[in-house]
Structure 1
């Protein structure tokens, strides 16, 4: 009987002989556009800027681009920088059952490899869909424990290796060993501490770089433990390949309208609804947030000192949404961290973890928020935050997200051209998109 890595390799190598369903093409194209939007917004952050500096120092010079920022980087350094930018604002896509984020790793790797190989736009869509499917199946099939880390870098490398291997036309046995090397050599994140949020994020940059290197080593003849996914204590082995080729997990991903941890999104949705018809003359006396117990793992700083701290704080996100609206998250800016009214309201946010919301994560990420203003108390439940696969953002919404996140980097005309260039991928054209990605910042800062 074929091992799971071999079955994934069979699936990937056979993909070129099948047409992707129209729905999968549509979802994949949207995922690519959404990841580019996240990357654009992340480019000016300290996390991305320092990653570019370190990438140049560690990998040296070359002919590759850190998109929308600078040229002259080694390809691996540029890949690291692009992945860091795409994940810096925590506004990149995700999957509920996987409890993490595939796009920030897989999309930059596919686009850079396709550019290197001279692949066409249809190849980009196929490789991306394959990468998502392999990575998300592995992540979703893990045996979850209370103490595990949910860092996406632990599993995104599987998808990167699958996508890169397919683009390179690797043989089945080589691709199976690429997966077997990429998985164990990914960053093995420990659960993060409670003192502050980390700019390291989900370790997607290192996971992606190590997966590309794993593919190269497998091509050269190196081997890995190809039975690593056939371990029932670690994975639901049957779920790994269930409906493989007919159920595409990229169709189940969520997109994020706000630059903040997904745990905060139902809270933001609820608060925005609560303040929509509030008498602006009445101050908010108190906000009570009821949320699933896994949110205890967030630092939840009242007065965060970094963007990461703001992204991973339920009370800060609730207060910012209440006082400054959705625009304050598109993107989240350092100046919001120093807003005294927001910090004062964040101190009035009470977080509860009720029994009726236990056992729901990661299948769903709901929240219930109560707002007390004057003598009025109102409650709103949000079972599915905006962007969920069952409450989706459409192409227009993703385009608006790109404009909001990219307006400090590119002009409106350049942003419109970027959207059009992603739409050309299904026609086989990739050159217009590559030209857009190499654009230097032109909008007024």
Structure 2
């Protein structure tokens, strides 16, 4: 029986954009990718691997890894020295990759974090024959398709909070996994459709769940494997009638086939427009954090010199004001904690945001000096940027301030290869050691290398 008010309409005059997208995806090769896209994809892979290894010791990742390890299978679990089913590995490794809130993102593509959902999905179906080049191609497919789905799902009104990373990310994970499994255009399209109808609702919640990133990665892998097995195949020459009420994917909703962001696939690589994080915290805090650090350096200020800090921000970020969070996830969404870490320690990385640091009395005392307020004039820049105004009042009565529209790691910013490598080394070395870290990073830079061999240290037991 059809749902109420279901209206089947006649064959579209515009070609099915999903067919165009999946035909491009199925035919894409490493040689087709521009050199700058290859380099950027390798950066994104290195960044996600580093955040995954760095996040593995967190409580959320440890629980997810324990849960996944119950099942037997071919897909490895980060730092566990054991394997599980591909869907379970994608879940646990996705949780680890997002646990520190150090994962990459994209402002205009639904504000999702593509790496932590696409890369674990791709890694879960890789095997001993997979080269780094093949993995990067699948990853690019996942990013490009997932980011466009996310843009289509961007909340249309204030009450729509259900299309976070896990939802659109399930589509990206499915596309990446399907590509690496060697599916044709029809198979990739079916994987996308299966992922969409099983995607997590993916509202945001803390602690641990965040944007359902692990579940989105897992859903995508299961969808790709189901597509490979023949799920959703229809008889040759038959097409399921389309409808407006229940579109089979975000790419079938009204206007999608004419959306320039969507139709640019294959000519504009949105992987080039992602950002990389320099702080293990919500991206909303980064422009303020970088600006605050700049003010400290410019005026020679130390934590003891500061009487108060006012942060003005856009409307969407005004809830990030908790002064004494008790979980690492809520700490990641706290302007006061981020600025406190910078004032006292100069870093906002894994050690500074660890559970053991949450009750540090000096940071809590500094956090109490931070006031977060809405500055309506900054709303005009959102969501293309996450700007902040920072005003510091010193104990001797001085006032210094600045407006900061961009953050380190934005496309074209000065947060370049050297800074990226330093971040990866800091995240990887505690688990892999110096030699293991160097081996993994060098291997990812070699497209001919075996992915299994390159990532051996990542999977080894700790």
TM-score, normalised to structure 1, is 0.91
Tell me whether 1:284 sits opposite 2:306 in the alignment. yes
Q: Which residue of 1 aligns with 2:225?
A: 216
In 2, the alpha carbon distance for the partners of 1:140 and 1:244 equals 13
1:282 Cα deviation after fit: 4.9
2:289 alignment partner, one of 245, 257, 268: 268
Tell me whether 1:100 sits opposite 2:112 in the alignment. yes
Given that residues 256 and 262 in structure 1 are in contact (C-alpha distance below 8 angstroms), is that contact kept between their aligned partners in structure 2?
yes
SS at match of 2:408: coil
Tell me whether 1:61 sits opposite 2:82 in the alignment. no
Q: Which residue of 2 aligns with 1:131?
A: 142
1:248-273 deviation line (CA, Å, top 9, x unaligned): 01010000011101011111111211
In 1, the alpha carbon distance for the partners of 2:268 and 2:117 equals 22
In 1, the alpha carbon distance for the partners of 2:295 and 2:232 equals 56
| CA spacing shift, 1:78–1:189, aligned 2, 3 Å | closer
Q: Give 5+ residue unaligned stretches, structure 1.
A: none
Q: Which residue of 1 aligns with 2:102?
A: 91
Q: Which residue of 2 aligns with 1:80?
A: 91
1:355 alignment partner, one of 376, 388, 391: 376
SS at match of 1:368: strand
1:307-363 deviation line (CA, Å, top 9, x unaligned): 001101112212221222125556522232111121122122111211211132221
1:147-205 deviation line (CA, Å, top 9, x unaligned): 2325200101111111122222222222212111112311102354xxxx321121111
In 1, the alpha carbon distance for the partners of 2:87 and 2:195 equals 15
SS at match of 2:391: strand
Q: Which has the larger radius of gyration?
A: 2
Tell me whether 1:242 sits opposite 2:263 in the alignment. yes
| CA spacing shift, 1:376–1:435, aligned 2, 3 Å | same
TM-score, normalised to structure 2, is 0.87
1:7 alignment partner, one of 7, 12, 20: 20
| CA spacing shift, 1:400–1:330, aligned 2, 3 Å | farther
Given that residues 97 and 116 in structure 2 are in contact (C-alpha distance below 8 angstroms), is that contact kept between their aligned partners in structure 1?
yes
Which residues of 2 match residues 356-395 of structure 1 at below 5 A? Answer: 356-373=377-394, 374-395=396-417
1:352-402 deviation line (CA, Å, top 9, x unaligned): 211211132221111110110121100022211001113153222222111
1:36 Cα deviation after fit: 0.8
Q: Which residue of 1 aligns with 2:244?
A: none
In 1, the alpha carbon distance for the partners of 2:221 and 2:103 equals 21
Q: Which residue of 1 aligns with 2:455?
A: 434
In 2, the alpha carbon distance for the partners of 1:162 and 1:74 equals 18
Tell me whether 1:185 sits opposite 2:198 in the alignment. yes
| CA spacing shift, 1:110–1:416, aligned 2, 3 Å | same
| CA spacing shift, 1:189–1:226, aligned 2, 3 Å | closer
1:57-94 deviation line (CA, Å, top 9, x unaligned): 4xx23343212233143333222211111010000000
1:37 Cα deviation after fit: 1.0
Given that residues 289 and 338 in structure 2 are in contact (C-alpha distance below 8 angstroms), is that contact kept between their aligned partners in structure 1?
yes
SS at match of 1:387: coil
Q: Which residue of 2 aligns with 1:156?
A: 169
SS at match of 1:401: helix
SS at match of 1:407: helix
Q: Tell me how many residue pairs correspond in the alignment.
A: 431
Given that residues 34 and 402 in structure 1 are in contact (C-alpha distance below 8 angstroms), is that contact kept between their aligned partners in structure 2?
yes
CA-atom RMSD, angstroms? 2.2
SS at match of 1:55: helix
